[in-house]
Structure formats: structure tokens, C-alpha cells
Amino acid sequence: MDKSHLEGISKELFESKRLRSKREAIRKLATYVVLILGSISMILPFLWMLSTSLKEPQAIYTFPPRWIPEPIIFESYIKVWKIVPFARFYLNSIFIALCVTLGQVMTSAFAAYAFSRLRFPGRDKLFFAYLATMMIPYSVILVPVYILMVYFRWIDSYKALILPAMFTAYGTFMLRQFFMTIPRDLEDAARIDGCSLFGIFWRIIIPLSKPALATLTMFTFMASWNNFMWPLLVTESVEKKTLPIGLAYFQEVYQYTQPDWSLLMAGSLLAVLPVIVMFVFNQRFFVEGIKLTGIKG
């Protein structure tokens, strides 16, 4: 093979590589453009929320709307606490979410340990029953539990807001799936060393399951924070309302007048902010959790 021929091949190779990398670069650029445009359309409504919340009442109803308010005022963020007991809603939501989360993670972890690691008669049938209820529409369960609350005279109490939400098949299912992935060798060694079943649970399973527990904690907290229909059913007084119900109640204040959108948006932003912050810092756990329960199909 002569030299010029070799040169030709290498040149051709180089060309095709350059061409390919050029095409690759264009594709990459297009990818970024699409992703960024999409991100803008995701964020735009949130910016609209922020912008509205910083406007004077008369500046809201103008055309064309201004993105940067003139002047920027923070009054809505002060007024919102006074017009409705927003602080109360906040505290209620936090208290209820903490109780529900604590209860659910604990009871789910105990049950998941039994389902994944202990042998007892009826285990698989019982677990199947747990799984089966996950398919049942929420409203089927809602009706009798609501009647139960009326019967117990728990309407408008924290008990009604917390207790029924504390036990879920979902939490048990999720943790059981995770516990199943922990190698058994570790516990066998511990058993031989005379560790009790509770000791295995507390010293081996729980420390190894921190990511899954964190995921369930966050899922439960969010679900409680965003829960709507149940607190709407069981609360009556303003003092027992949670944040979402409080927002809906806030909206009802304007039933017969032009809503003060700057106030409503300030309230909405305050309701959204804690979960967004929590999500941004812990989003890895969310992604893992979604994969854990969803990937098998």
C-alpha cells in the first residue's frame, strides 16, 4: 500500500470523524435548545406567580401585564398573614405532616420487616391483601371512614386529620421491596452471634435502609402536605384548616368580588416554597423512590 493511499484513508477518516462530530454538535445544541425552551415554559407560570404577588392591587388588572412590577411591593406577604390565619394553617400542616410521617414510616418499617424477613403462617396471603387494596379507589374507603369519624365525633379534630392517614399499604409495600434487596448473609451472621430478631431489625435492617426510609419520609410528608379531599371533609373550624384547605378558604373570601390575585399568589407561593426547597435538596431520594416502586410493573 503506497503512502498517498494511506494518507487518503486517514484524511477520509478524519473528515468523517469531523463530520460526525459536527453533526453530533448540532444534535447536542438542538437538545439543549429544546430542553431550555421546555424549562422556560415550566418556570414561566411560577415567575408569573412571583411577579403577581409583588404587584400593587391596581397593577394586577392592566394590559399588557408587566413582568417586573413597578413598584415592587412586599405588602401582600405581610397582609396574607392577617386576612386569614395563615400562620395557623402553616402550623397545622406542619404538625399533621410530622405526625403522619412519623407514624407511617415507623409502622410501615415494622410491618415491612415482618413481611420481608420473618416466616409466619398466612404471610403471603396477607401481603397479597395489602397489595390488592392499593388498587381500590380512594373514594371507596373514604365514605365509610368519614362516617366512622362522624360516629366517633372526631370531625374537626387532629385525630381525624392524622390517624386514618397514618397506615398505608403503600409504605409497607415500598419498604418491603427495599428490605428484600438487603443480603441475608448479614443477618445470618448476627443470628449466629445471638442477636435477637428485634436487634437485627434495629441494628442491621434500619441502618442499611436509610435511603429508602428517607424516600418514604419525604413521599409521606409531601402527600400529607398536599392532601386535599380528606382535610376538606373533616375540618369545620378555621383553626383546624391545613394549608391547602386554608388556600381554598382564602379563595372563597373573594367569592363575590374581584379576587386580590396578588394576595392569593403570595399565599400560594408560601404554600409551595417549603416543598420546593425540600425537593431541590433531596431530589435524589425521590427519583430512587419512584424507580423502586414503579420499575417492575
Partner 1 sequence: MNLKSRHRETLIAYLFLSPNLLGFLIFTSIPVLVSLSFSFFDSQLAPWPQVLSGKFVGFGNFVKLLGFRLQDGVWLANDPKFWKFTGNTLFLMMVIPFQIFGSLVLALIMNQKIRGIVGFRTIYFLPTISNGVAIYLLWQWVYNPNFGLLNSMIAKFGEIVNLSLKGPHWLSNEAWAKPSLMIMGLWVVIGGHNAILYLAALQNIPKDFYDAASIDGANLWQKFWYITWPMISPTTFFITIMAVIFGFQSGFMQAYIMTRGGPNGATTTLEYYIFNNLYEWHHVGYAATIAWFLFIVIFVITLLNWRFGGKLVNY
43-102: contacts with partner 1 (CB under 8 A) = 43-46, 48-49, 52, 60-65
Q: Of 41, 58, 237, 257, which one interacts with partner 1 (CB under 8 A)?
A: 41
Measured CA to CA, the distance from residue 273 to residue 168 in angstroms comes to 27
231-260: contacts with partner 1 (CB under 8 A) = 232-233, 243-244, 247-248, 251
Q: Of 6, 78, 148, 180, which one interacts with partner 1 (CB under 8 A)?
A: 148
104-133: contacts with partner 1 (CB under 8 A) = 106-108, 110-111, 113-115, 118-121, 123, 126, 129-130, 133
Q: Of 102, 131, 197, 208, which one interacts with partner 1 (CB under 8 A)?
A: 197
φ, ψ of residue 73 in degrees (nearest 5): -125, 145
Is there binding between residue 20 and partner 1 (CB under 8 A)?
no
Nearer to partner 1, 2 or 138 (CB): 138
Nearer to partner 1, 14 or 279 (CB): 279
Number of residues lying near partner 1 (CB under 8 A): 100
Is there binding between residue 21 and partner 1 (CB under 8 A)?
no
Nearer to partner 1, 7 or 188 (CB): 188
Q: What is the 3-state secondary structure (H, E, C) of the chain?
A: CCHHHHHHHHHHHHHHHHHHHHHHHHHHHHHHHHHHHHHHHHHHHHHHHHHHHCCCHHHHCCCCCCCCCCCCCCHHHHHHHHHCCHHHHHHHHHHHHHHHHHHHHHHHHHHHHHHHHCCCCCHHHHHHHHHHHCCCCHHHHHHHHHHHHHHHCCCCCHHHHHHHHCCCHHHHHHHHHHHHCCCCHHHHHHHHCCCCHHHHHHHHHHHHCHHHHHHHHHHHHHHHHHCCHHHHHHCCCHHHCCHHHHHHHHHHHCCCCCCCHHHHHHHHHHHHHHHHHHHHHHHHHHHHHHHHHHCCC
Shortest Cβ 4–partner 1 spacing (Å): 29
Nearer to partner 1, 3 or 296 (CB): 296
Is there binding between residue 158 and partner 1 (CB under 8 A)?
no
Nearer to partner 1, 10 or 133 (CB): 133
Shortest Cβ 154–partner 1 spacing (Å): 11
- Using the rule CB under 8 A, give the single segment among 7-15, 26-34, 75-83, 208-216 that binds partner 1: 26-34
